């Protein structure tokens, strides 16, 4: 099987500043999504569903929670050669620097793969939401006898300036590449797409940050370009200019880049649609994550509409609408939550805490008679009774005493205590 000859490298990203404050205490791939998963579960699940079981995750910032998640989740049997390993940036005799970019991260880590037999390197991003059969991608790469394949997705003129844009010939070979083109330059960068895509104005081929290299070609590109630090800005253009056969693998399914708070928020809430574009309920292509063995969630007197509720929750809220409710969430009576993400808790409140008459600080979770709209409540937050949190364009972005506002979305950081009666 061709996937046995493939090593997957998942790039954990840099500081994740655009996802701050969710990345203040965790790396970007460790950010929770859809109530019970983490971002890194998406590319790893795509690999496992494609039969790829040699997987490295590269990271360098706040990697403790990511390490813990990988260790507790992806354990293969003793008789397989599969693994999911974390490779953190390290000082070596050849380099004393942290990862300087996507290509530099792979260059500094590739010596760890010397003990494995492989023909192809599949480079993936750790912060995207999509489902793809990588076997089809690799098969297409081999059939075309390509040196490098770039997975691309058609985008419209409004989105194109945010991506690396490819221009292809009739055979799917990439002739030129530009990183984040100016709007006035776009007319030069149209490519042939399907009639369905053309009708939507999606005639620009954007790089998805998913690459397939032949092992020897990747090593040669690194040797020939020792100062190149980024795949998109340097390695791909240099490969094209050097005469390598670089082809596009067009993908037309659901795909979204979760690089900002706004995109993270929208991608999560889109999962509450009656028939979401991203299918969590696929029998063949399931999403893997840590098996926590939690009890079923319990709802009492709660009206719900388009809500995703993870396991282990105890909910007595009045109404929850178009929201994600994460594992072990506790939500009190009379509370309303709409258009929000509640990430849940890492552990249950003890019986002693629940029965205590002390009012030193609220219980972990959300109290009674609260109203929460357009907010992200990170894990282990303690929100008291009669708290009002209403996000929207009327709020100025910034860091405040007990919360952040990004794109009008109120973010309550992990472990924050919000006292009774507090209003945002």
Q: What is the DSSP string of 314-340?
A: EE--SEEEEEEE-TT-EE-TT-EEES-
Shared domain for 42 and 99, answered yes or no, is yes
Q: Is 281 helix (H, G, I), strand (E, B) or coil?
A: coil
**Range 283-311 average pLDDT:** 96
- Distance CA(415)–CA(378), nearest Å, equals 8
Helix (H) or strand (E) holding 44: helix 41-49
Q: Per the domain annotation, does 292 fall within a domain?
A: no
Helix, strand, coil shares of the chain as percentages rounded to 5? 25, 30, 50
- Quick one: what percent of the chain has pLDDT higher than 90? 68
Report the distance separating Cα 53 and Cα 5, nearest Å: 10
Confidence band, pLDDT 50/70/90 cuts, at residue 358: low
Q: How confident is the model at residue 1 (pLDDT cuts 50, 70, 90)?
A: very low
Any domain includes 188: yes
* Average pLDDT score over residue span 288-310: 97
For a pLDDT cut of 70, what percent of the chain falls above it? 95
Pair 308, 253 in one domain? no
Same domain, 318 and 393: yes
Residue 85 lies in a domain: yes
pLDDT-based confidence at residue 79 (cuts at 50, 70, 90): confident
Question: Is 284 inside a domain boundary?
Answer: no
Per-residue pLDDT band for 114 (boundaries 50, 70, 90) equals: confident
CATH of residue 23: 3.90.550.10
Query: Is 305:288 a contact under the CB 8 Å cutoff?
Result: no
If phi > 0 it is left, if psi is from -120 to 50 it is alpha, else beta; for residue 62 that is left
In the prediction, which pLDDT does 179 show?
85
- Whether residue 193 is contained in a domain is answered as yes
pTM of the full predicted structure?
0.92
Taking only Cα atoms into account, the Rg of the chain, rounded to an integer number of angstroms, comes to 23
Residues 315, 266 share a domain: no
CA dist., res. 132 & res. 109, Å (int): 25
Q: Are 163 and 181 in contact (CB under 8 A)?
A: no
The domain tally of the chain equals 2
- Asked if residue 228 and residue 136 are part of one domain, the reply reads yes
Distance CA 167, CA 249 (A): 12
Question: DSSP labels for 96-163?
Answer: -SPP-SHHHHHHHHGGGGTTS--SEEEEEESSEEE---HHHHHHHHHHTT-SEEEEEEEE-TTTGGGS
What's the pLDDT score for residue 14? 62
Neighbours of 283 (CB within 10 A): 6
Q: Is the pLDDT of residue 22 over 90?
A: yes
Q: Which residues contact 85 (CB under 8 A, 6 or more apart)?
A: 55, 56, 57, 70, 112
Q: How far is CA 90 from CA 54, 61, 122, 415, in A?
A: 21, 12, 22, 30
Same domain, 304 and 231: no
Instruction: Measure the CA–CA gap between 146 and 140, rounded to whole angstroms.
Output: 9
State the Cα–Cα distance between residues 149 and 174, nearest whole angstrom.
Answer: 9
Output DSSP code: residue 232.
Answer: I
The predicted-structure confidence for 390-401, as pLDDT tens digits, reads as follows 999 999 999 999
Q: How far apart are CA 206 and CA 337, in angstroms?
A: 37
Name the pLDDT band for 63 (thresholds 50, 70, 90): confident
Residue 98 inside a domain? The answer is yes
What is the predicted pLDDT for the residue at 123? 96
Question: Is the pLDDT score of 271 beyond 90?
Answer: yes
* pLDDT reported for residue 357: 57
Same domain for 256 and 329 = no
- What is the secondary structure of 74-111 as a DSSP string? ----TTS--EEEEEE----SS--SPP-SHHHHHHHHGG
* CB-CB contact of 152 with 206 (8 Å): yes
Domain of 382, in residue numbers: 298-418
């Amino acid at each position: 099987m061709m996937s046995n000859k493939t090593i997957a490298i998942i790039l954990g990203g840099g500081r994740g500043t655009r996802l701050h404050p969710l990345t203040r205490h965790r790396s970007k791939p460790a950010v929770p999504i859809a109530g019970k998963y983490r971002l890194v579960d998406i590319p790893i699940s795509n690999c496992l569903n494609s039969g790829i079981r040699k997987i490295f995750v590269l990271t360098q910032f706040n990697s403790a929670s990511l390490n813990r998640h990988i260790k507790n989740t992806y354990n293969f049997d003793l008789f397989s050669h599969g693994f999911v390993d974390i490779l953190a940036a390290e000082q070596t005799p050849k380099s004393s620097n942290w990862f300087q970019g996507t290509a530099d991260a792979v260059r500094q880590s590739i010596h760890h793969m010397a003990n494995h037999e492989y023909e192809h390197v599949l480079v993936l991003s750790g912060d995207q939401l999509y489902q793809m059969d990588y076997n089809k991608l690799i098969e297409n790469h081999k059939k075309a006898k390509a040196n490098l394949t770039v997975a691309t997705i058609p985008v419209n003129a409004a989105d194109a300036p945010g991506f690396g844009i490819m221009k292809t010939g009739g055979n799917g070979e990439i002739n030129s590449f530009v990183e984040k083109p100016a709007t006035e330059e776009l007319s030069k960068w149209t490519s042939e797409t399907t009639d369905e895509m053309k009708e939507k104005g999606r005639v620009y081929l954007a790089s998805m940050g998913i690459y397939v290299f032949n092992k020897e070609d990747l090593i040669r590109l690194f040797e020939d370009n020792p100062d190149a630090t980024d795949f998109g800005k340097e390695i791909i253009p240099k490969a094209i200019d050097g005469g390598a056969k670089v082809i596009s693998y067009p993908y037309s399914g659901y795909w979204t880049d979760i690089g900002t708070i706004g995109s993270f928020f929208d991608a999560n809430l889109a999962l509450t649609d009656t028939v979401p574009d991203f299918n969590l309920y696929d029998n063949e292509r399931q999403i893997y994550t840590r098996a926590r063995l939690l009890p079923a969630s319990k709802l009492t007197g709660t009206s719900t509409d388009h809500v995703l509720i993870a396991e282990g929750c105890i909910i007595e809220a009045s109404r929850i609408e178009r929201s994600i409710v994460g594992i072990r969430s506790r939500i009190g009576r009379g509370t309303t939550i709409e258009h929000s993400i509640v990430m849940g808790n890492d552990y249950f409140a003890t019986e002693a805490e629940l029965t205590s008459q002390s009012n030193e600080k609220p219980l972990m979770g959300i109290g009674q008679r609260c109203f929460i709209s357009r907010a992200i409540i990170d894990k282990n937050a303690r929100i008291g009774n009669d708290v009002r949190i209403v996000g929207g364009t009327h709020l100025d972005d910034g860091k405040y005493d007990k919360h952040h506002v990004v794109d009008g979305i109120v973010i309550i950081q992990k472990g924050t205590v919000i006292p009774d009666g507090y209003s945002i």
